[in-house]
Structure 1
Amino acid sequence: MNLTMSRMLDGSRILDTLMNNLEGMAYRCVDDEHWTMIFVSQGCAGLTGYTASELIDQTCISWEQLTFAEDRHRVRAAIRAAADRGRRFAVEYRIVKRCGELRWVVERGVAVADEHGECVIEGFIEDVTERRATLGALEQAESRYRNIFEHASEGIFQTTEDGRYLAANPALARLYGYPSPQSLIENLSDIGRRLYVDPKRRDEFHRLMQAHGEVLNFESEVFCHDGSRIWVSENAHSVRGPQGELLCYEGTVQDISERKHYQAQLERQANHDMLTGLPNRVLLGDRLNQGIARAERLGCRLAVVFIDLDNFKFINDSLGHKAGDDLLTAIAGRFSNCLRSSDTVARLGGDEFVLVLNDHDELSSVISLLDRVLAEIGRPVALSGREFQVGASLGVALYPDDGRDAQSLLKHADVAMYAAKDRGRNNFQFFTRELNRVAEERLNLEAAMRAALERGCFEVHYQPKVNHLRRIVGVEALARWNDPQLGSIGPDRFIPVAEETGLIVPLTTTILRQAFAAARRWNLGREHPLRVAVNLSPRLFLSGDIVAHVACLLGEVGLSPSQVELEVTETVFLGDSDRAVSILREFKSLGVSLAMDDFGTGYSSLSYLRRFPLDIIKLDRSLVTDLEHEEEVAMIARAAISLGQSLRKTVVAEGVETQAQFDFLRFQGCDEFQGYLLSRPVPEAALSQLLADGGVIPKKPV
């Protein structure tokens, strides 16, 4: 055999190998009513369920019959039109596989003359069902975000730097009195001169944008379409391109006319206590009614707290009215240290104060705030050259539990205040017995937690994370607390208390120190070190110098930062996002990996993946639970994994509880898995034994 013939045979063998190993079917067919196949590659079996011998010459079925009936005319028209013009064609349609399953395919080909000059069609057909499903899921996600934009209660906009609107939602059009967003965009072409009553406000807007890249609570008086005026508050930021160029401004607008008018009215009235400067009884009534209306609208709780200072009469009588007035003034000033700007503190007269605490969803947050109030009141006060300490009796009534109007809430808070006095003063009592029981339980839990931290009673359990071969590649460190008196206490109970009281700092330090030490022991001599993951609460993440703190703990233990993952939720980005980004970059410089936990539960996760230096996304269990039973859940999980892969992130699935979930996620390309199917959180000794036994989680027998 000569060299030329050998090369021809090798080339033929290579071509056959390539063609028969493609995921799809190469073909040649006759341009007839049946699309009679002359040649098909071996990929036909995976594509259709039929063998080559069954498809060629319509031995078993013709390609016309395989094509879904509703698509046949469209497909034939597209191919014929391309053939008539001598062009290539590409057409998507459905086929019915041998098993009856309907699949989407894309066919690409061209009409050519064969060896005898007869017209034939040659091309390639591949299955695109999964791709279409992913695109469909992404389109649904885009539709949901568009729905939010269209139906938001706040005005939303995009504008150019020179003051033209690029986009506006219906709420903004209604706010400014225009019949539609398009009408607003077309008619309001010069924001600086035609929108703002004071044109200098636009200059101030530009100045703040150039200095900070954003404006927050930017209040201005503006003209509506009909010439009327309203007050608005804007929150906006700069949007920049890849090279740092300014693309536009975007943000939200709220109508604050009612608040501004109310403020103007207050300036004309004497609504404040002359001694302390606090709101008086008249203004308290207005604030309380506003708070009730807001609580009803938002569906949250409002707390009314009646405060009576303990031993005030003794100080006032023994040291004189001047000392009594100084005491009241000092106590009034301290309330600002523990209350938010949205809350109200008023003086009714004498030593009686009332707090109106807005926007509380959980009773625990009210209890935490009352603790701070008692602590502030109890700090020593210098009077007449001497230090005195006073306490306070606090009575609490909640809307709507204890009353639905201002008079009822004040009356019930007063009753509860006298119950606090009867209990021994310097405490707080709720109007209802059940709420008092909850408050006492929470205070007992806080005290027990402080004692447990001092005694070192918290331990760490570790939940393995495995790869697609079920080999352990990392662990998540989880705090566990078993109290001698209270028994086993779940993280869902003690973590919120820790965050509200500041105990989250020593608790996390304890967990980090134990987890880092365990990781160092496990990784001694390991060829592929395990990574230990620890969750950082939003409050801890944004407080103090957390990066230096973690670096110090790593140095104490002698653990490499590359063996550590720190998990955060998107909550850390909702406030000061610039600070959050700065902290993340410092952690990256330190060498640790960063993971977004609970991905898929928030509104802005996609933008966070683009903006922030994250290495890992952890799919929330809501994207895993029932995915084997609910197609929509499976589609969203598939799209999320595909997105993570496209952004070159490690994708971890949480809450994997069934083999079907594991197999689906593995097939979609998920990198790591975590859940009860593989292992519950276990003590260090148990995990060490798993590693000693080979570090592979065996498949459970069915």
Structure 2
Amino acid sequence: MLSARSIPRLRTSLLASTRVDRARVLDTLVNNLDGMAYRCHLDRDWTMVFVSQGCLALTGYPADVLVGANALSWEAVTDPSDRQRVRGEIEAAVRSARRFAVEYRIRTREGDTKWVLERGIPVPDERGCIVIEGFVEDITEHRAMVAALEHAELRYRHIFEHASEGIFQTTPEGRYLAANPALAKLYGYAGPDELIADLAELDRRLYVEPGRRAAFRRLMETHGEVRNFESEVYRRDGSRIWISENAHIVRGSDGRLICYEGTVQDVSERRHYEAQLERQANRDQLTGLPNRNLLRDRIEQGIARAARRGCMLALVFIDLDGFKFINDSLGHAAGDELLVEIAGRLNASIRSSDTVGRLGGDEFVLVLNDHEQLGSVISTLERVLQDIGRPAALAGRELQVGASLGVAMYPDDGDDADSLLKHADVAMYAAKSRGRNNFQFFTRALNSVAEERLTLEAAMRVAIERDEFEVHYQPKLDHRRRIVGMEALARWFHPVLGDIRPDRFIPIAEECGLILPLTTCILRRAFAAARRWNQGRDQPLRLAVNLSPRLFLSRDIVAHVSGLLCDAGLPASQVELEVTETVFLGDDELAVGIFRAFKALGLSLAMDDFGTGYSSLSYLRRFPLDTIKIDRSLVVGIEQQDEMAMIARAVISLGQSLRKTVVAEGVENPAQFDFLRFQGCDEFQGYLFSRPLPEAGFARLLEAGGVIAARGD
């Protein structure tokens, strides 16, 4: 063990060994650095007092050649062109007693020129004289790399400024960071700065097709680049050109995305030429409509789309009635003029998602996509017949033609273009054989549906003219089973067709434009009845009437209902309009405006069939609704199924929280009524209390006191 007396001696020994080690380490470090450490005098030759062994690799001279009064002076080693500049910078540092760093050239023993960086500081030596101590390192490669970079940048700048194609850098969001003159000229700007300052939000300001910038970004994010990305764009003056973009992602050393960088070319001329070729190959030369080649492609696309979406496609074969007579009597020029006119009318009769093509002569074909119901196809066919039949001025005369239409439906009548065209052609001849200027479906079943629809439409027009529609009233009760209101429901009994349900005649009325006169008939009767029943009542009954979504969103509906109320002498406060959630899925601004106008008139507003559609809670917040009606489907089973009970309970609680009146439809047994009443539901409808009644039957209920006992009580 160490004694206390021996510890100081050990510490002294360790310190001495530490000093020796430091000297050795310092000497090793100085003589092995990649460069030359030195001390020199402040004289005209920069006489070296000490240089490290790195001088040999740096200059080609050993240390003994550079050190001493008679040695090769550092001034001589320094390139003559740099001597004055170097001396000036070092002497200025000495006067200020500060560090310096200076770059210059030296000449090596072999005659080569090297660039060096000298860093030093003036310090007093052991005698107190000012000397310079520092370090000189070779930066020849670094200088060469910097020069290469500067040259490359200059060359890139020259290319950037004088390239014939547009070059850009943008953020992913679509803000320009850089643009060259060619791009500015391409887009109609005086220069890059003007383009960068003005052109932002590229998806809205540059690309003609909405979402094109988003497609560009998706490709960049997926592949890191885009190639030959062609788009139609707006120039500054509003004109359009087609461009092709090639671009890639630029990332930093850390992998972070910096920008998109790429080039733009104007390909408008090529696109125009391609369009001409496409038109010649796929378009009818007279009308510009798709010819047989393109039409077949459109049919196949429509079939694939219908199969994917699970909807119907209608192929309509059209043959003009009486065209041959016009063509023969007035000449081919008049016939061609008529064909062009009919082509324009057909285009105007269909949606942008549909196709009209010409097979030749006076034969046209319609491809009608995305139909969910046969009724919408029939409405289109009727419109087409009406448009074709309008008079046309030809050769100084006003003439009229008709058309025979044959219809084949995918998938019932065929699953390929050939079979659908064949069957539509067969149906077209059937239309001609049945008197022309009509349409026929290929299958007997579809013909039956079409005939029924046409029969109902014709009968409905007569019934409206004769005021044959009736109104039945279903009581609305409070929790004490007292009648507090009634819902007006349209009913139609035809002497030949029998009892026709609303779900059959109302869609037809909407499609063929009869919904307004039908609704007017119903409202007139209902308003008059409500006025009679409410005369002298302390607490007026509120009349609930349904409005078709299509009718509700018509811009003059508020004035129309207001006029009917005035005619009947019924206060608006005694009427509640019921609408389904469909009205919320279209033009929000229009719907909100109509709701507010009805509220200003004094009417109450109710959402019917709540829970069967989208049922967004935002509707209950944004629209000024007074009442929500729980659909019958949410009432059936609440007394037996916990899940249904939970849903009904949640809807009632929601209505209470929003301070809405909650009405339950379809209450059919006492258990349902008791459950809903206990949960706080405000009003009730259903067969438990009464079916919809004719006006006389409902009046008897009121005369009996207006309190209805549940059936079986």
Which residue pairs with 1:474 in the alignment?
485
Cα deviation for residue 268 of structure 1 reads 5.2
**Structure 1 CA distance for aligned equivalents of residues 334 and 483 of structure 2:** 69
Cα deviation for residue 556 of structure 1 reads 0.5
Distance verdict in 2 for CA 1:605–1:540, change over 3 Å = same
Which residue pairs with 1:192 in the alignment?
174
* Secondary structure of residue in 2 paired with 1:532: strand
Q: Give TM-score scaled by structure 2 length.
A: 0.64
Distance verdict in 2 for CA 1:640–1:424, change over 3 Å = same
Contact kept, 8 Å, 1:194 with 1:223, in 2: the verdict is no
Matched, 1:315 2:297: no
Cα deviation for residue 272 of structure 1 reads 2.0
**Structure 2 CA distance for aligned equivalents of residues 331 and 642 of structure 1:** 59
What value does the CA root-mean-square deviation take over the aligned residues?
Answer: 2.6
Contact kept, 8 Å, 1:292 with 1:302, in 2: the verdict is yes
Which residue pairs with 2:29 in the alignment?
none
Amino acid across the alignment from 1:626: G
Which residue pairs with 2:350 in the alignment?
339
Which residue pairs with 2:201 in the alignment?
203
Which residue pairs with 2:278 in the alignment?
269
Contact kept, 8 Å, 1:222 with 1:232, in 2: the verdict is no
Which residue pairs with 1:287 in the alignment?
298
**Deviations 1:389-429 (CA, angstroms, capped at 9, x unpaired):** 11101010010101001111111111111111111111111
**Structure 2 CA distance for aligned equivalents of residues 300 and 648 of structure 1:** 41
Cα deviation for residue 265 of structure 1 reads 7.4
Contact kept, 8 Å, 2:581 with 2:614, in 1: the verdict is no
**Deviations 1:462-503 (CA, angstroms, capped at 9, x unpaired):** 011111111111111110111111111110110010000010
**Structure 2 CA distance for aligned equivalents of residues 586 and 657 of structure 1:** 36
For 1:4-153, list aligned pairs within 5 A: none
Amino acid across the alignment from 2:610: F
For 1:616-627, list aligned pairs within 5 A: 616-627=627-638
Cα deviation for residue 334 of structure 1 reads 1.2
**Structure 1 CA distance for aligned equivalents of residues 523 and 230 of structure 2:** 49
Contact kept, 8 Å, 2:175 with 2:202, in 1: the verdict is no
Amino acid across the alignment from 1:295: A
Which residue pairs with 2:675 in the alignment?
664
* Secondary structure of residue in 2 paired with 1:509: helix
Cα deviation for residue 629 of structure 1 reads 1.3
Cα deviation for residue 218 of structure 1 reads 4.6
Matched, 1:690 2:701: yes
**Structure 1 CA distance for aligned equivalents of residues 361 and 209 of structure 2:** 39
**Structure 2 CA distance for aligned equivalents of residues 405 and 443 of structure 1:** 29
Distance verdict in 2 for CA 1:543–1:267, change over 3 Å = farther
**Structure 1 CA distance for aligned equivalents of residues 552 and 437 of structure 2:** 34
Which residue pairs with 1:461 in the alignment?
472
Cα deviation for residue 573 of structure 1 reads 1.6
* Secondary structure of residue in 1 paired with 2:693: coil
**Deviations 1:18-42 (CA, angstroms, capped at 9, x unpaired):** xxxxxxxxxxxxxxxxxxxxxxxxx
**Structure 1 CA distance for aligned equivalents of residues 383 and 622 of structure 2:** 37
Matched, 1:546 2:546: no
Which residue pairs with 1:5 in the alignment?
none
Distance verdict in 2 for CA 1:542–1:193, change over 3 Å = same
Q: Which runs of 5 or more residues in structure 2 are unaligned?
A: 1-169, 180-186, 188-195, 233-270
Amino acid across the alignment from 1:343: D
Cα deviation for residue 232 of structure 1 reads 12
Which residue pairs with 1:223 in the alignment?
217
Tell me which of 357, 371, 389 is aligned to 2:368. Answer: 357
Matched, 1:394 2:405: yes
Matched, 1:556 2:589: no
Distance verdict in 2 for CA 1:682–1:452, change over 3 Å = same
**Structure 1 CA distance for aligned equivalents of residues 523 and 273 of structure 2:** 53
**Structure 1 CA distance for aligned equivalents of residues 438 and 212 of structure 2:** 41
Contact kept, 8 Å, 2:176 with 2:200, in 1: the verdict is no
**Structure 2 CA distance for aligned equivalents of residues 194 and 577 of structure 1:** 35
Contact kept, 8 Å, 2:414 with 2:420, in 1: the verdict is yes
* Secondary structure of residue in 2 paired with 1:475: strand
* Secondary structure of residue in 2 paired with 1:614: coil
**Structure 2 CA distance for aligned equivalents of residues 600 and 425 of structure 1:** 48
Which residue pairs with 1:304 in the alignment?
315
Percent of residue pairs bearing the same amino acid type: 70
Contact kept, 8 Å, 1:519 with 1:532, in 2: the verdict is yes
Tell me which of 611, 621, 638 is aligned to 2:622. Answer: 611
Cα deviation for residue 286 of structure 1 reads 1.4
Which residue pairs with 1:447 in the alignment?
458
Distance verdict in 2 for CA 1:481–1:219, change over 3 Å = farther
**Structure 2 CA distance for aligned equivalents of residues 624 and 577 of structure 1:** 30
Contact kept, 8 Å, 1:619 with 1:654, in 2: the verdict is yes
**Structure 2 CA distance for aligned equivalents of residues 486 and 299 of structure 1:** 32
Contact kept, 8 Å, 1:594 with 1:614, in 2: the verdict is yes
Amino acid across the alignment from 2:554: S
Cα deviation for residue 547 of structure 1 reads 0.2
* Secondary structure of residue in 1 paired with 2:364: strand
Which structure exhibits the higher relative contact order, with contacts defined as CA atoms closer than 8 Å and separated by 6 or more residues? Answer: 1
Matched, 1:509 2:549: no
Distance verdict in 2 for CA 1:189–1:421, change over 3 Å = same
Contact kept, 8 Å, 2:172 with 2:217, in 1: the verdict is no
Larger radius of gyration: 2
Cα deviation for residue 202 of structure 1 reads 5.8
Cα deviation for residue 189 of structure 1 reads 9.2
Distance verdict in 2 for CA 1:264–1:499, change over 3 Å = farther
Cα deviation for residue 367 of structure 1 reads 1.2
Cα deviation for residue 658 of structure 1 reads 1.3
Contact kept, 8 Å, 2:469 with 2:493, in 1: the verdict is yes
**Structure 1 CA distance for aligned equivalents of residues 312 and 379 of structure 2:** 15
Which residue pairs with 2:600 in the alignment?
589
**Structure 1 CA distance for aligned equivalents of residues 173 and 368 of structure 2:** 38
Distance verdict in 2 for CA 1:307–1:223, change over 3 Å = same
**Structure 1 CA distance for aligned equivalents of residues 291 and 659 of structure 2:** 59
**Structure 2 CA distance for aligned equivalents of residues 296 and 660 of structure 1:** 46
